[in-house]
């Protein structure tokens, strides 16, 4: 559609009489008027009082007389290319490029002697920009007309205008971003501007405008297209969970961030035949499930789709639920007065279980105290019971619970009195020593009845004395315990135990007093374990 708008800019002064086109005039410069090619223009003859009809009006173009009108004459002017109106204005119909120039009018009122000089008007013939056509391809169109392209593709931008404006024009491709700043991507003076981006990036997202401007009149016309650059998130969706206060309820979270626009996400329960449990068109979707919907080995999958991904392509993350399974030693024996550490490992639970310790068949929660030290080192949970007493004997539970189920490891703690414990050690030494003595007796009998393998000091013993290894039994535990300290580890890495041997003369059995007296000697054997 052609616009019939004519831009008239008047300096509006009738006093300026001298003007040299293209040069500096005396006084103020004449006004400029743009006349649209093919349209009509009316050039006013100023400095006439309103409603005053001039007697004679003359119009000059570039200093030469163009047309004059004697207003007293009865003859009405015949409308032609040029016409002087009653008030002296000059009308030019169907402007042509040759019509541009400096127009001056000279009019006189009824009093012929009074001649007014009138300001010149520069008429510039222009043709305004007509229309532009924008094309961004290949691109997809949204229902509201906005175009989108996938990031990284090759995109061609082209703008054309059907005609070139007179006398010249500029055609520019301008991008305006969401932050309102603008950049001219390409411009030219012809009827076509175009460019191509082989690897389009999100910086091309914004309002794309093709603007054509008449270089003389500065009249513009343009069109815009909104372009969006779509890209899927770079990484895969992330599956995670959030615990709830109620341990039998859990919220599964699937998030797939970093894409534009937001993807569609769908949680699927592969156990129940792959049915979708939740759909979302946000970059994060949460679904809260309770224990009745959860089972061991159940697989939950979150599938993500993005508008610029090809149809078959999908990205997903998944979770396989596992019931907790606390493992450990079910039977623990400990000596009264010492400390004991019960341990339990929980490795398989998905989502991770909360593991606690309980005691007695009543399942009382064990609270950390001076008596109970609870530690949690990754998959290993331990409970240290300090200064064991007989009352600590009984059942302990390592209880692991996750939203799928709760499982317990039952540990029975047996507390032995220190007496029976010492008896055990004594029993061990007894067996070792009996074995050793047996060997020695055998060797002695075989080789030399005057030597005893247990030490050179035995070599000096008389035959009358019976050397007895006085192995302490349970009645003598006090003595034995004192006499059996742990020796430091020897260089060969074996720990050693000092074993005391009571050497008793043969007469001891008959003479109890002598036993109490001077005959008691002590020897040591080092028994390597």
Ligand X SMILES: *[C@@H]1O[C@H](CO)[C@@H](O)[C@H](O)[C@H]1NC(C)=O
Contact status: 374 vs ligand X (CB under 6 A): no
Query: Pick from 426, 414, 410, 398: which is nearest to 483 by CA?
Result: 426
Structure tokens at 417: 């009195």
CA atoms lying within 13 Å on the CB side of residue 495: 6
Tell me the per-residue interface mask from 229 to 258 with ligand X, x by CB under 6 A, - otherwise. Answer: --x-------------x-------------
- Residue number with the shortest CB distance to ligand X? 152
Q: From the CB of 395, what's the least distance to ligand X, in Å?
A: 21
Q: From the CB of 338, what's the least distance to ligand X, in Å?
A: 5
Which CB sits closer to ligand X, 153 or 496?
153
Q: From the CB of 453, what's the least distance to ligand X, in Å?
A: 38
Q: From the CB of 159, what's the least distance to ligand X, in Å?
A: 16
Q: Rule CB under 6 A: which of 381-410 touch ligand X?
A: 386-387, 389
Tell me the per-residue interface mask from 64 to 93 with ligand X, x by CB under 6 A, - otherwise. Answer: ------x-xx-----x-----x-x-x---x
Contact status: 144 vs ligand X (CB under 6 A): yes
- What is the rounded CA–CA span in Å between residue 354 and residue 324? 9
Contact status: 97 vs ligand X (CB under 6 A): no
The one-character DSSP state at 164 is P
Contact status: 4 vs ligand X (CB under 6 A): yes
Which CB sits closer to ligand X, 56 or 155?
56
- The string of DSSP codes covering 191-247 is SEEEEEESS--GGG-EEEEEEEEETTT--EEEEEEEEEEEB--SS--EEEEEE-SST
Cβ burial of 431 (10 Å; 0-12, 13-18, 19+) is exposed
Distances (CA, A) of 366 to 332, 374, 383, 386, 399: 18, 9, 9, 13, 11
Is the alpha carbon torsion for 271, 275, 278, 280 positive or negative?
Answer: positive
Structure tokens at 52: 């005053």
Q: From the CB of 334, what's the least distance to ligand X, in Å?
A: 11
Which CB sits closer to ligand X, 42 or 380?
42
- What is the rounded CA–CA span in Å between residue 357 and residue 380? 12
Query: Pick from 211, 168, 223: which is nearest to 187 by CA?
Result: 211
Contact status: 117 vs ligand X (CB under 6 A): yes
Question: Where along the sequence are the contacts to ligand X (CB under 6 A)?
Answer: 4, 17, 39-40, 42, 44, 56, 70, 72-73, 79, 85, 87, 89, 93, 117, 142, 144, 146, 151-152, 168, 177, 179, 181, 189, 199, 201-203, 226, 231, 245, 266, 276, 278-279, 338-339, 386-387, 389
């Amino acid at each position: 559609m052609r616009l019939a708008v004519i831009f008239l800019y008047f300096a509006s002064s009738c006093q300026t009489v001298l003007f040299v086109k293209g040069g500096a005039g005396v006084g103020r410069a004449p006004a400029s008027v743009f006349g649209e090619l093919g349209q009509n223009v009316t050039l006013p003859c100023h400095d006439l009082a309103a409603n005053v009809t001039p007697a004679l009006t003359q119009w000059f173009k570039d200093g030469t007389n163009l047309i004059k009108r004697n207003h007293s004459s009865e003859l009405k002017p015949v409308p032609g290319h040029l016409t002087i109106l009653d008030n002296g204005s000059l009308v030019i119909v169907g402007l042509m490029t040759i019509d541009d120039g400096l127009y001056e009018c000279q009019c006189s009122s009824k009093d012929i002697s009074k001649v007014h000089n009138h300001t010149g008007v520069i008429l510039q013939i222009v043709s305004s920009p007509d229309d532009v056509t924008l094309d961004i391809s290949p691109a997809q169109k949204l229902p509201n007309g906005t175009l989108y392209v996938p990031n990284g593709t090759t995109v061609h931008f082209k703008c054309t205008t059907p005609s070139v404006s007179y006398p010249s024009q500029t055609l520019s491709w301008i991008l305006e971003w969401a932050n309102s700043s603008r950049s001219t991507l390409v411009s030219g003076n012809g009827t076509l501007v175009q460019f191509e981006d082989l690897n389009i990036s999100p910086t091309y997202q914004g309002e794309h405008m093709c603007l054509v401007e008449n270089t003389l009149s500065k009249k513009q016309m343009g069109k815009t297209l909104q372009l969006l650059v779509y890209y899927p998130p770079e990484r895969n969706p992330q599956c995670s969970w959030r615990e709830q206060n109620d341990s039998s309820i859990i919220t599964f979270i699937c998030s797939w961030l970093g894409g534009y626009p937001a993807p569609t996400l769908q949680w699927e329960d592969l156990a129940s035949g792959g049915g979708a449990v939740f759909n979302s068109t946000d970059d994060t979707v949460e679904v809260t499930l309770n224990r009745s919907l959860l089972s061991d080995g159940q697989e939950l999958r979150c599938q993500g789709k993005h508008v610029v991904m090809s149809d078959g392509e999908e990205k997903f993350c998944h979770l396989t639920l596992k019931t907790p399974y606390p493992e450990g030693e079910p039977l623990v024996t400990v000596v009264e007065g010492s400390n004991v550490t019960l341990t339990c490992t929980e490795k398989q639970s998905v989502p991770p279980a909360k593991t606690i310790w309980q005691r007695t068949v009543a399942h009382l929660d064990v609270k950390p105290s001076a008596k109970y030290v609870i530690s949690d080192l990754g998959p290993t949970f331990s409970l240290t019971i300090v200064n064991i007493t007989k009352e600590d004997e009984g059942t302990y539970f390592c209880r692991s619970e996750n939203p799928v189920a709760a499982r317990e490891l039952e540990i029975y703690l047996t507390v032995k009195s220190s007496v029976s414990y010492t008896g055990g050690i004594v029993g061990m030494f007894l067996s070792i020593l009996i074995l050793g003595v047996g060997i020695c007796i055998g060797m002695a009998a075989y080789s030399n009845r005057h030597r005893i393998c247990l030490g050179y000091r035995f070599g000096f013993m008389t035959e009358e004395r019976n050397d007895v290894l006085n192995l302490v039994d349970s009645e003598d535990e006090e003595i034995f315990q004192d006499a059996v300290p742990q020796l430091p580890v020897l260089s060969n890495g074996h720990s050693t135990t000092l074993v005391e041997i009571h050497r008793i003369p043969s007469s001891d059995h008959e003479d109890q007093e002598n036993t109490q007296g001077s005959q008691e000697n002590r020897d040591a054997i080092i028994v390597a374990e």
